[in-house]
Structures are given as structure tokens and as C-alpha cells.
Amino acid sequence: MDKEIYALLDEKEKLPKELQAKELEFEEKKKSLLAIEETYKDLLKQKKDKELQLGTKEEEIKKLQSQLYSLKTNKEYSTMLQQIESAKADRSALEDKILVILEGVDRAKEEESREKERLAQEEIIFKAEKKKIEDKVKEIEQKIAQLDVQRKVALQGIDAKMLAQYERILKGRQGMALAPVANSSCQGCFMNVTHQVINEIKMYDQVVTCGACQRILYLEDDTE
């Protein structure tokens, strides 16, 4: 029973770590969405900047065009025309850049909704795994509680001093206080057990412990 209880406690102890690992894994998956959202925000900012630049450029073109007819000489006129053409070329370049940014915005938006969908699926999987682990913990706790009841029943009538010795070894040896002797060795630590010790066990007038691991020794196939 104690062996079983210790194995269950051991299993129970590992489960929160397992849950934590799955939680971290899920959090890691959320990072991809954050990266897409960052790209999206950045593109919107770029779009705003370029639109402002475009507005300024358009003002500049209007201003130049309005000045065009007040000019006195042909040379001034052709210089101004060149300036206007150059500003228009700048405007066209800005418009092209805005188009490229807009395509990026659309792509990021699509990616964002795809990623959100994927994460929603991941969340369903994660929550199911979480519930499975939590259920397992409950199940283990119930089993331990049952074993504790059985253990209390089994303890009735056992000599207190012997029980104290057993409990001490149990704690020190992680749930295995008793060890059978087989092939002249302790099956708890696999160290050699002498014939004299085996004979002492067979006498059944005292508790015989392993010299190496201190576990209480017994003979499994001893019909006596």
C-alpha cells in the first residue's frame, strides 16, 4: 500500500510541471500573433507618414502651378515647369509607396485573422489538456485517500515500536521500507545478504534489517 501511495504522490507531483510546460508552450504560440499585430501597427504608421508627405507634396505642386502664370520670362517659366515635373515625379513615387504599404496592410490583416483562428484552435486543445491533467490530479487524490483508509485498518494491532521503525525507514527510502531477499541479495539495494542474516530472518524473533540500506528484510518464498 505504501509503495502504491508513494508512486501516486510521485506521479501527482509531476503533473503541475507538465501543466506548466503546456502553458508555456501555448504562451509561446501567442507570440506569433503579437509579432503580426506589431507589423500591422507599423505599416499603418508608415501609411500615415507617407500620406502626410503626399499632402505636403500636393500643396507644393499647387503652389508652384499658381505661381506659373505670374512669371515674367520664358527661362523662369521653363525652370518652374521643371520644378513642377520633379514634384509630380516625387508625388507619383509616394503614391506607389503607399500602394505597396496598403498591400502589406491587407496581407497583415489576413495573416492576423488566420493566426487568431489558429490560436483559438490551440486554446481549445490546451484547455482540454489542462482539464485532463486536473482530472488526473483529482483521481490520484481519491486513490490516495482510499489507500489511507485501508492503511489505517491494516495498522491496527501492529506493535508501536516496530511501526515507528517502519515509518522511519519508509520516509528515508521513499515508500519502500520492506525488501525481500532473493539470490542472497537485498532486493531494495541489491547488496549481498549473508547466510547468517538469512538464518536470523528465518528465526522470526526480531526485525532484521539490511546492513546497507536499512530496509526490513523478509523472505518471499518462505512458507513458514
- Contact residues toward Zn ion (CB under 5 A) are 186, 188-189, 210, 212-213
Query: Are the CB atoms for 164 and 182 separated by under 8 Å?
Result: no
Q: Where are the alpha helices (DSSP H) in 69-159?
A: 74-155
Task: Fill in the amino acid letter for 34.
Answer: L
Strand, helix or coil for residue 125: helix
Using CA atoms, how far residue 82 sits from 57, 76, 86, 93, 96, in Å, is 15, 10, 6, 17, 21
C-alpha R_g of the chain: 41
Question: Smaller CB distance to Zn ion: residue 53 or 209?
Answer: 209
Distance of closest approach, residue 218 Cβ to Zn ion, in angstroms: 12
Rank residues 186 and 208 by Cβ distance to Zn ion and give the closer one. Answer: 186
Q: Which is nearer to Zn ion, 147 or 213 (CB)?
A: 213
Please count the CA atoms within 13 angstroms of the CA of 41 that sit on its side-chain side.
6
Q: How far is the CB of 205 from Zn ion (least distance, A)?
A: 21
For Zn ion, give the closer residue by CB, 189 or 198: 189
Q: Give 198 or 213: the residue with its C-beta nearer to Zn ion.
A: 213
8 A C-beta contact, residue 115 and residue 36: yes
Cβ proximity to Zn ion, 84 vs 193, nearer residue: 193
Neighbours of 93 (CB within 10 A): 12
Contacts of 109 (CB under 8 A, 6+ apart): 40
